[in-house]
Amino acid sequence: MLGWSAIRFKVEGNPLAEKIDAILPQTQCGQCGFPGCRPYAEAIAKGEAEINQCPPGGEEGVKKLAELLGVEPKPLDEAHGAPKPKSVAFIDENTCIGCTLCIQACPVDAISGAAKQMHTILAAECTGCELCLPPCPVDCITMVPIPEDLPHWKWKHPVVMLKQLDREEAAT
């Protein structure tokens, strides 16, 4: 653990990258073309990457990055993928053969289990990066969207734009 804190400490060396990293969603999916959020953050800090390459962060993430860096926001680069509803991976325990390949792929150690035993996803820790899907030899991992429940329910943005109201009325 001590060694680990040393690493964390070292990591805080670059304040800009740190700030960018704080905005990135930490899905660690690599869709941005970097092996995780931190390397992407560093690349942005160095000016080596565009700010619109992170689909999990969505347009809002781009906007926040633009604000932080004082540049114009731009639409997400579709080459890197489109945002999806937040999901978690689910392992079909009856199909899993316990090969540990997914464990090695998971960037946040959200899969527990050991060799030759069936594995389970720790839903609270899973970021939904989908990196565990391709290595599974028996395709037993699926992504399940997180269902909306009471504690996570959100009030929607009220629609009061007159233009829209009028259209609704015209439709009825």
Partner 1 sequence: MSRELFKFRGGVHPPEHKAESNGRPVHPAPLPKTLVIPLRQHIGTPAKPVVEVGERVLKGQLIGAADGYISCAVHASSSGIVTAIGPAAVPHVSGLPDDCITIETDGRDEWIAHAPLDWRAMEPADLRMRLRDMGIAGLGGAVFPSAVKLDPGAARHCPTLIVNGGECEPWITCDDLLMRTRADEILAGVAIMRHLLGSTEVLVGIEDNKPEAIAAMRDAAAGLDFPVEVVPVPAVYPGGGAKQMIETLTGRQVPSGKLSTDIGIQVFNVGTAHALARAVHHGEPLIARLVTVTGHVLRPQNFEVLIGTPMHALITLAGDREGATGVLMGGPMMGVPMPSLDVPVVKATNCILVKSAELFPPLPKALPCIRCTRCADACPAELQPQELFRFAKAGDFGRAQEYHLFDCIECGCCSYVCPSHIPLVDFYRYAKSEIWAREREKRAADLARERHEFRQFRLEREKKEKAEKLAAKAQAKRAEIAADATASGAPDAEAKKALIAAALARAQAKKAEAAPKNTDNLSPETQHEIEEIETRRAKIRELAHQPLEPEEKP
Partner 2 sequence: MPAPFIIGRSSVTQVMAWVLAALLPGVGVYVWLFGPGILVTLSLATVTALAAEAAMLKARGYPAKPFLTDLSAIVTAWLLALSLPSLAPWWLIVTGTLFAIVVAKHLYGGLGQNIFNPAMVGYAVLIVSFPVQMTQWAGPLELTATPLTLAQSAMVIFGGDVPKATLDAVTMATPLDALRTGLLQQHTVDEIMTQPIFGHYGGTGFEWLAAAFLAGGLLLWALRIIGWQVPLAFLAGVWLTAGFLHFFDAGRFGAPWFHLFAPSVMLGAFFIATDPVSGATTPRGRLIFGFGAGFLTIVIRTWGGYPDGVAFAILLMNLSVPLIDQYTQPRVYGEARKGEAPRS
Q: Pick out residues in 59-118 that bind ligand SF4 (CB under 6 A).
A: 89, 105-106, 108, 110-111
CA atoms within 13 A on the CB side of 169: 7
Helix/strand/coil for 143:
strand
Instruction: Please state whether 17 falls in left (phi above 0), alpha (psi between -120 and 50) or beta.
Output: alpha
Which residues within the stretch 46-105 sit at the binding site for partner 1 (CB under 8 A)?
A: 93-94, 100, 103
Helix (H, G, I), strand (E, B), or coil: what is residue 17?
Answer: helix
Among 29, 43, 44, 65, binds ligand SF4 (CB under 6 A): 29
Binds 40, which of ligand SF4, partner 1, partner 2, none (CB < 5 to 8 A, cut-off by type)?
A: ligand SF4
Q: Judged by CB under 8 A, which stretch of 24-32, 46-54, 70-78, 162-170 contacts partner 2?
A: 162-170
Q: Taking the complex as a whole, how short is the minimal distance between the CB of residue 49 and partner 1, in angstroms?
A: 18
Distance, in Å, from the CA atom of 103 to the CA atom of 131, rounded to the nearest integer, reads 10
